[in-house]
Every structure is written in structure tokens, then in C-alpha cells.
Amino acid sequence: MNKIIKVLHTEWSDGWGGQEIRILSESKAFIEKGYEMIIAAQPNGELFKQSNQAEVPTIALKMNKGLNLFSIFHLVSYIKDNQIDIVHTHSSVDSRTAGIAARIAGIKVVRSRHISVPISRSRLTWWQYMKLSDRVITSGRDIRNMMIKNNKMLAEKIVSAPAGVDTQIFSIDRELNDIRPKYKLDATHFVVGIVSVLRSWKGHKYLIEAIKIAIKVIPNIRLIVVGSGPQKKNIKQLINKLDLENHVILVGYQPDPAFFYKAMDVMVLPSYSGEATSQVLPQAMLMGKPVISTDTGGLSEVVIHNKTGLIVPTKNSLEIFNAIKILFDDDSLRNRLAEEGRVHALKNFTFEKMIETTEHVYLDLMRS
């Protein structure tokens, strides 16, 4: 196909997490492949800011939970004036706004489902997915299967494309400065880490409580928390309440978390809801780090218990501690999980594989 394909991404969220990072990363990758990509985002949101900084074409689009007729018809005009071929939506609010606009303009729509929370069985939800989208891309097989089973959606309409990781950035072969000295860490410390936006369902509370248990038997344990978000105040209060100021290090959002993965001995993701396949688990795996994860959403696609990592129950600080202690005590197990995890991530969760699947969806729609 010689025609340059023009894709308009839309995103309602004003935050900055895996979903927004994926939108920007995909857009940059497709621009390199010769596509024209535009991102429509909330004018005060982080995606709008980051996209502009990355010099990806970006437009401001105000969206709210109701039907914003002005935004709909603004999008209709933009789609027609710029000859957009495909609108790619990512959240429920922008899927309504942009989906209706795309239907009025007569173009194709792709809807991404990034989280594993069960979808409402309401007629409105069914209408959004079945009538306001031509294809649905899920971030994991479990989400796809759930939508087919629970929501009676057509299997041929839904494609699974797990979040992919850039193997150049997250690689055991990448030369990175050691950041441990900056945070007063040395070879005697056992460093546990989490890389995640600070939201309640990410489960930071249970990991921090596990560290409190751990210091009784692993006094040199330290926890590095990478990320920012709405739970920052509550997390700080919990750290103070448990007297963990000398054991937990909050480093905020980091544009290149690879430096922090390198400093870790173990990476933990204690989420209890909402996760798809996660980007941070494959990132840590590709950096040669053993991982501990809860079994929620699509995380079991990434972490196979006792093969590519350890699985623990959700909302269970004691079990998180037990898994940390197992890895602390057993160097050979740590090394085996790290190596098998890295091989698994290279095979199933690369950025190239994600882009290939998404491009297949775009090309298929252009031919239909």
C-alpha cells in the first residue's frame, strides 16, 4: 500500500502511566515507519505535554464524561480537513466522543482496552465496543477472552497485543551508571524495587507492609519506589507510620527507569486490580531481574510461577514478604528466574511484536 496512512489517537486521561506511554511510544514508532500520527489529548494533561516535547503532532481536545457536542463536531471537522484514515481510541470517554465523530466522518475506528477490569454489560458499553469500533485491541489474552465470554463480543473483532518493551533501552547489555551510591546503597544492601504510577490499586501499601516485616530478618533490605501519582501523600504517611524512612526511598517519576532496575535485586508488582500484561514486568525481566507479581488481570501471561518469576496472592503483605525472603535466601533461584524471565520477555513482549500486531490491524482496516 503506497498511500500514507493517517491515524488519530485520542486519550481522555490527564495522567501519565503505562497507557499514555504506550500511546506516545506507538505513535513515534509508526512515524518512523512512514505513517502520519496525531495525538488528541486533554490540553492540561501529561500526554499532551509529553507528546509536544517529543515533537509528535498533537492537538488539544477537551473531553468530559458527558457527550461534548462541541468536541465531537470539532473532531469531525479535523478528521475531514486532515483526511484522517483511522481513529484509535483508548478510554471510555474519548471512545464515545471520537467514536461518534469518526462515524459521522465515515472512517474506521480502533478501540484499545488497556485494563483487565470487567466491562459493564450495559447496552451503552456494548454499543461503544460493537458499533463505535471496527476492531478492538486488548493488552492481553485474558482481557480478550473475558470480553468474548462476558460481553458476547465477536472473537474475530478482538486482537490481543500485549504491551511491548524496547529491547534497546531495557537490556542487560546496556551500559548504565550505578545509581546505588546516590541513594547511599552499596553491595551489602538487598534492594527491592517497584516501578509504577502511585495509584491505590497498584498495591504499594502491601509491599511497604512487607518491607516492615522483612527488616526483622533482612535488616539491610531497602525499597526503591519509582513513580508519581495521586497516592503519594498516603504512601508517605504509611512510611512514616511504620517508621520506614530509612528503608524506603521515594524517587518520583523517572523518564528512564532502566537505571533503577539495574540497582534492584528483585522487582515487585503487587497490584490487586486493573492490570493488563504490564510493561514494568517485562522491562525488569529484560534487565535480568527476578520478579514477584500478584495474579491479577493479565499478569499471569508474563509471570509463570516458579519459572519466570514468583506469583503471590493479592492484598497479602505476608506472602509478599515470604516471596522476597525466598529470593533473598536462594541465589541460584534468583538467577534462574531472572534468566528464564528474560528469555520469556524477549519471545513474547517486545516492542517490535506489539507494533507488528497493531500495524496488521491498521492495514486490514484500510483494505476492508
Task: List, for residues 120-175, the tens digit of each pLDDT value.
Answer: 667 777 777 778 899 999 887 877 887 777 767 778 888 988 888 999 999 999 99
Residues 265 and 328 in one domain: yes
CA distance 20 to 36: 18
Residues 316 and 251 in one domain: yes
Residues 344 and 220 in one domain: yes
Please state, in angstroms and rounded to a whole number, the distance separating the CA atoms of residues 212 and 244. Answer: 7
pLDDT band at 15 (very low <50, low <70, confident <90, very high): confident
Q: Is residue 171 part of a domain?
A: no
Give the type of residue at 85.
D
- Mean pLDDT, the chain, whole residue set: 92
The pLDDT value given to residue 312: 98
Q: Is residue 57 part of a domain?
A: yes
Tell me what the mean pLDDT of segment 176-181 comes to.
95
In a shared domain, residues 17 and 35: yes
Q: Are residues 203 and 158 in the same domain?
A: no
Whether residue 175 lies inside any domain: the answer is no
CATH (domain of 278): 3.40.50.2000
Nearest to 109 by CA among 123, 94, 95, 88: 88
- The reply to whether 318 and 218 lie within a common domain is yes
Q: What is the mean pLDDT of residues 111-119?
A: 77
Confidence band for 118, pLDDT divided at 50, 70 and 90: low
pLDDT band at 1 (very low <50, low <70, confident <90, very high): low
Percent of the chain whose predicted confidence (pLDDT) is above 90: 73
Residues 292 and 358 in one domain: no
Whether residue 323 is found in the same domain as residue 355:
no
Q: Which stretch of 125-134, 214-223, 303-312, 343-352 has the lowest confidence by average pLDDT?
A: 125-134
pLDDT digits (tens, 9 = 90+) for 20-45: 989 999 999 999 999 999 999 999 99
Total domains, the chain = 2
37 contacts: CB under 8 Å, gap ≥ 6: 6, 7, 9, 26, 27, 28, 30, 31, 56, 57
Is residue 1 domain-resident? no
Per-residue pLDDT, 162 = 83
Q: Are residues 54 and 131 in the same domain?
A: yes
| The predicted structure's pLDDT at residue 130 | 78
Structural domain containing residue 63: 6-164+350-367
Q: Is residue 169 part of a domain?
A: no
- Order of strands across the sheet with 266-269? 248-252, 221-226, 190-195, 266-269, 291-294, 310-312
Condensed to tens digits (0 to 9), the pLDDT of residues 40-64 reads: 999 999 999 999 999 999 999 888 7
Q: Is residue 307's pLDDT more than 90?
A: yes
241 shares its domain with 339: yes
**Do the domain assignments include residue 258?**
yes
**Span 262-268, average pLDDT:** 98
Same domain, 96 and 153: yes
Residue 261, in any domain of the structure: yes
Residue range 330-340: mean pLDDT, rounded: 98
Average of per-residue pLDDT across 267-286:
91
Task: Answer yes or no: do 156 and 287 share one domain.
Answer: no
**Residue 95 located in a structural domain:** yes
